[in-house]
Structure 1
Amino acid sequence: MKILSAPQIREADAYTIAHEPVSGLLLMERAAAACADWILRRYAGSSRPFYIFCGPGNNGGDGLVIARLLAENGFAVQAWLVAAGNVSPDNLANQARVPFLQKINAPADFPHMEEPGVIIDALFGTGLNRPLDGWVAGIIHQINDQRGRQEIIAIDMPSGLMADQSSKGHACVHARYTITFEYWKLALLLPENGGFAGETVLMPIGLHPAYTAAVQTEFHLTDMEMIRTVYRPRDPFAHKGTYGHALLVAGSYGKMGAAVLAARAVMRAGAGLLTVHIPRCGYEIMQTAFPEAMCETEELASHSAHFDEPFRLRRAPDYDVIGIGPGIGTDPSTAKAFERLLGHWQGPLVLDADALNILSKWPSLMPLVPKLSILTPHPKEFERLFGAAGDHFERLALLRAKAKEWQWYILLKGRFTAMACPDGSVFFNPTGNPGMATAGSGDVLTGILTGLLAQGYGPKAALILGAWLHGKAGDLAAAISPESLIASDIVDYLANAYAEIQQ
């Protein structure tokens, strides 16, 4: 699914008006009616009143139509026009259809809302391109002061939030729900805005599909259509050699759990064969906990606590991919062994956890990392590798720049995990939940990605499918209680996640 900028969304509206054809007024009616239908379904049977705040532009026009439709369906509705700027023609036309409309010209005009109900924020939408200030910012703060008593729904965007640039420190409505039209907006996918948008509802409004098909964008949100395009069903005549042989370098004394979780995920993701290179201290643990994996350890008994064995060149041709990092630690001897591995391996590579920490401690190793490798940092690991950013838009730009500079695929973990590709494109993953913020979840992701690469998926396909599977398995595992989710649950539900694709 394409993520469009605010100018592109205006172009989509104009294209639809010109080519459907439909008037701007009727397109506004269509969009607002879709919102009103969602609201009517959510609050069916409720006697809660609606308090609707409308701005002077087309977002305010949407609010006016919603006010009229809710009133026609028997709800108690009050509506106010915040007179702050030039009124759009379609907004003006809809003002005449809302006889109960009142005006707010200053913060002192802010209404007293006696009963707990629902505030609908239709002040400013996607077109906003500057911070709100003055008395209008005061209105935003007054709306937010009502959050304890009123549920807040934002139309298209929480007012004050800009679609394509940071709104950090700005006055923005804090919504419980945001009903956004047709396309996701970049701001709704970045962590700094999560508290403003709440739960986002994507509302199709029938914008012309020809425009969507033709428009170019570097930002995409993974959807089921994309996943089913990427996914490759199994060949009924295949054998274990068909799906590759992965090498996983993982574990150290006290951190063998990371190795076991990653190893299980490699195989559950579909790899045909797996060898796990572990320190000697973990041999019995791995063989007992996961007998499906073959084990390789250091040859010397003294090398028992962590990875410090030179990479075995005689075995290199046996592997289709190497995943390295979960639980290996950052001992200097481990860093040296990692350097030797990088010096002798130019095939598919997944780097996570301590492999990334080693790179940040010894940045001279970065040029040795093969092009098209996959790196999977969480935000702090990303900052240690590439530096801090002032806001999440800057961090997204840095993510894209580093993926292009090093020709790597970089997966930045988060609520909407962002995956930057060497060509500058970015894919956001929508699956996953807060219960996955638990120890070992990242080790499972490393295993999934390694398992997909072993099967012959390219790095971009592995990223898109792997992140989706990881999040979907977490969603299925957390269906009863996100709080009780543990990383091994994600592995256990990978089969269910695959089944969702195959339906």
Structure 2
Amino acid sequence: MKIFTAGQIRNWDAYTIANEPITSLQLMERAATACTNWLLEQRFTQQHIHIFCGKGNNGGDGLAIARLLLIQAVPVTVYIFETGKKGSNDFQRNLELLHNHTTDIHFLQSTDAFPTLQQNDVVIDALLGTGLDRPLEGLLADLVQHISNSPATVIAIDLPTGMFTDKSCKEAVCMRADHTLSFEVYKQCLLVAENAEYCGNVHLLAIGLHPAYYETTLAAQQLMDAAIIRSIYKKRKAAAHKGNFGHALLLAGSYGKTGAAILSAKACLRSGVGLLTMHTPTCGIIPLQTAVPEAMVETDANEKYLSNTPADLLRYAAIGIGPGIDLHEETANALMLLLQQAHQPMVLDADALNLLSIKKELSALLHTDCILTPHPKEFERLFGKTANDFERIEKAQEKATELNCVIVVKGHHTFIACPDGTAWFNSTGNAGMATAGSGDVLTGILTGLLAQGYNTTEAAILGVYLHGLAGDFAAAELSQEAMTAGDLTRYLGKAFLQLSLTNR
């Protein structure tokens, strides 16, 4: 699914109006009808509904929703934030229509007029939509804070008031919504972690915007969906053998961190790789051979940490390095040798990334088939601090192009930046995956997919999606709280089964 900017959304509205053709008032009615139907389906209409409207088109949506609910005999009170200026044409027309159904309309001109909101109340936030161009201030900021601090359930139309579509609202006043009803496609602001507490649960509603605009308009970012995953996923041929699915090498583990190697190894094998060799310190051979009998183990010369690389790197179709390897000087030298000698697709995670941040010169050795998988703190160590999620995303895209590699920034809606300038947000996963070892599992999955012949972009998209989908299955059966990283590997088979069933 394409992710459009605020400007592209406005252009899509205009394109629909011009090419369907349809009036802007009729398009507003479609949006209001979709929101009203959602409110009815979710049974929010059994409670008293307070609709707060601005004087722009978002407010017009709110007025139309109020009218449609009143027709359904739902109790509604409408509040209009008074700016002293006349509203948009469509706002004014909907206000005229609303007067035919109710007189319970209040104009807010001071804090004294703010209503007391109860726990059983439902608030519809139709104050501002995607047109915000500066942070909230004055009476409007006071109103947003009043609503946000109330015990009422808040449902935002299009976007929570105070949220920018394409930039951070981290230091600004923003409505805290329990639900956000947005239209047709996700906007970037609805996918970044820093806005999660303001958006609540996001629901996309179709309002019949013209499909030709979507099909012909380029988007710098996309959200992974089932169609994208189906286009990447390769089903196995009946006559295949293990040699068809690649030989992966994982360099992982150190004294006290062999568990990271085990988690990564199990995930790599569950990703479908044909063969797996683990390169680990001598102390890891018994735990690995016991816990992962399907993997071959080649031990390092050092007992407690990695100090060299395997002799014949050409044997391997893909390489992963980083889980639990620690930060010894000899390990840094081994990483340098690996980057100099190996030209296969490669995944660098965890301590491999930390070594890159310590030894800045190693970044020059990265080649075009590398995937870097930092979490936000590792990203900061590698590329410097950023003030907010939007800056981090922008920097990830810059660095992916500069280093000519794929960068996977792990987290809420994991972000994938590709060297060609394209970028992806993940649509699977949950907070239960915020647990030690989840990244080690992802490293194993990505390495296994690369070994099977997926290119770095395909492996990153498919691997991150499967990783999150396995997490969703695990959470559904175990709860988010009780999940461990090992559960992700155990539910990976169920994730693959879903792909197989939907790819027929």
Code of the aligned partner of 2:15: Y
Q: Which moved more, 1:428-437 or 1:164-173?
A: 164-173
Aligned ranges for residues 81-480 of structure 1 at < 5 Å?
81-84=80-83, 85-99=85-99, 100=103, 101-113=105-117, 116-146=120-150, 149-298=151-300, 300=301, 303-309=302-308, 311-313=309-311, 315-480=312-477
TM-superposed CA distance for 1:132, in Å, is 1.5
Correspondence for 1:487: 485
CA distance in 1, matches of 2:142, 2:441: 46
Q: How many residues were matched structurally?
A: 495
Q: Which moved more, 1:253-262 or 1:68-77?
A: 68-77
Code of the aligned partner of 1:450: T
Deviations 1:279-304 (A, max 9, x none): 11111111110111011012x4xx11
Please state whether the residue corresponding to 2:347 is helix, strand or coil: strand
Deviations 1:130-151 (A, max 9, x none): 11212111111111121xx200
**Residues 119 and 153 in structure 2, CA contact (< 8 A), matched pair in contact too:** no
Correspondence for 2:16: 16
Q: Which moved more, 1:74-83 or 1:428-437?
A: 74-83
CA distance in 2, matches of 1:162, 1:245: 47
Q: Which moved more, 1:83-92 or 1:250-259?
A: 83-92
Closer, same or farther in 2 for the Cα pair 1:87/1:487, shift >3 Å? Answer: same
Code of the aligned partner of 1:198: G
CA distance in 1, matches of 2:116, 2:403: 57
CA distance in 1, matches of 2:222, 2:207: 19
TM-score by length of 2: 0.96
Q: What is the RMSD of the two structures over their aligned residues, measured on CA atoms?
A: 1.2
TM-superposed CA distance for 1:312, in Å, is 3.1
TM-superposed CA distance for 1:105, in Å, is 2.0
Q: Percent identity?
A: 49
TM-superposed CA distance for 1:113, in Å, is 3.4
CA distance in 2, matches of 1:438, 1:312: 31
Deviations 1:31-56 (A, max 9, x none): 11111111111116x63100110110
Closer, same or farther in 2 for the Cα pair 1:139/1:316, shift >3 Å? Answer: same
Code of the aligned partner of 2:483: L
TM-superposed CA distance for 1:426, in Å, is 1.1
Deviations 1:118-176 (A, max 9, x none): 11100000111211212111111111121xx2000000000010101111211110000
Deviations 1:473-501 (A, max 9, x none): 00000004100000111001111111222
Code of the aligned partner of 1:407: N
Closer, same or farther in 2 for the Cα pair 1:250/1:386, shift >3 Å? Answer: same
CA distance in 2, matches of 1:493, 1:455: 20
Closer, same or farther in 2 for the Cα pair 1:268/1:115, shift >3 Å? Answer: closer
Code of the aligned partner of 1:129: D
CA distance in 2, matches of 1:372, 1:28: 47
Q: Which moved more, 1:226-235 or 1:105-114?
A: 105-114
TM-score by length of 1: 0.96
**Residues 431 and 475 in structure 1, CA contact (< 8 A), matched pair in contact too:** yes
Deviations 1:149-207 (A, max 9, x none): 20000000000101011112111100000111111111111122111111111111111
Q: Which moved more, 1:103-112 or 1:119-128?
A: 103-112
**Residues 347 and 370 in structure 1, CA contact (< 8 A), matched pair in contact too:** no
CA distance in 2, matches of 1:321, 1:8: 40
TM-superposed CA distance for 1:86, in Å, is 4.3
Correspondence for 2:43: 43
**Residues 145 and 173 in structure 2, CA contact (< 8 A), matched pair in contact too:** yes
Correspondence for 2:27: 27
CA distance in 2, matches of 1:381, 1:242: 34
TM-superposed CA distance for 1:396, in Å, is 1.2
CA distance in 2, matches of 1:502, 1:103: 56
**Residues 279 and 310 in structure 2, CA contact (< 8 A), matched pair in contact too:** no
**Residues 320 and 348 in structure 2, CA contact (< 8 A), matched pair in contact too:** yes
CA distance in 2, matches of 1:341, 1:318: 14
Please state whether the residue corresponding to 1:170 is helix, strand or coil: coil
**Residues 51 and 123 in structure 2, CA contact (< 8 A), matched pair in contact too:** yes
**Residues 276 and 295 in structure 1, CA contact (< 8 A), matched pair in contact too:** yes
Please state whether the residue corresponding to 1:126 is helix, strand or coil: coil
Code of the aligned partner of 1:153: I
Closer, same or farther in 2 for the Cα pair 1:306/1:114, shift >3 Å? Answer: closer
Code of the aligned partner of 2:17: I
Code of the aligned partner of 1:61: G
Correspondence for 2:62: 63
CA distance in 1, matches of 2:447, 2:323: 12
CA distance in 2, matches of 1:208, 1:405: 37
Closer, same or farther in 2 for the Cα pair 1:127/1:494, shift >3 Å? Answer: same
CA distance in 2, matches of 1:304, 1:367: 30
**Residues 81 and 102 in structure 1, CA contact (< 8 A), matched pair in contact too:** yes
TM-superposed CA distance for 1:115, in Å, is 6.6
CA distance in 1, matches of 2:269, 2:36: 47
TM-superposed CA distance for 1:278, in Å, is 0.9
